[in-house]
Amino acid sequence: MPEFKHDGKLYYNPIEFALSHIGGTWKMPILWRLRTKTMRYGELKKDIPHITHKMLSTQLKDLEAHGLIRREVYAEVPPKVEYSITEKGKEALPVVETLIDYGKKLMAAYEIEYP
């Protein structure tokens, strides 16, 4: 398959391109949490306690830049910011769910109990 460029980055296949949008340790867990409700930054941080503030901020910005989530800022003091999934983000959810199911099967194969 031929290589292609997007936003100044070189890609070699569609999987690599898709993973640049939803891959890594944190993007899919964030999308999964936003699938059913809008959340504030603090709620996301509390729900994913092992993510650093810097990483959460970076991943949210990246997901927003790719159009997978929406960031809404309310003109209040203190500022109120909410994150929600977009239609484009919802399109990624079947992929996330498939990986969750596969992960659970792998865990079962290694006799790891999922809490």
* CATH number of the domain enclosing 95: 1.10.10.10
Confidence check: pLDDT of 1 > 80: no
44-61: average pLDDT: 98
Question: Cα torsion at 101, 102, 103, 107 (round to 10°)?
Answer: 100
Hey, CA dihedral for 48, 56, 45, 83, is it positive or negative? negative
pLDDT at position 73 = 96
Flag whether 32 is in a domain: yes
Flag whether 70 is in a domain: yes
pLDDT at position 76 = 92
In the numeric block, the tokens 């500022």 are attached to 79
What is the average pLDDT score of the chain? 96
Decide: 26 and 51 in contact? Cβ < 8 Å. yes
Domain holding 102, by residue range, is 25-109
Q: Which residues pair with 81 in a beta bridge?
A: 73
Pairing between β-strand 9-11 and β-strand 69-74 as defined by DSSP bridges: unpaired
Confidence band, pLDDT 50/70/90 cuts, at residue 114: confident
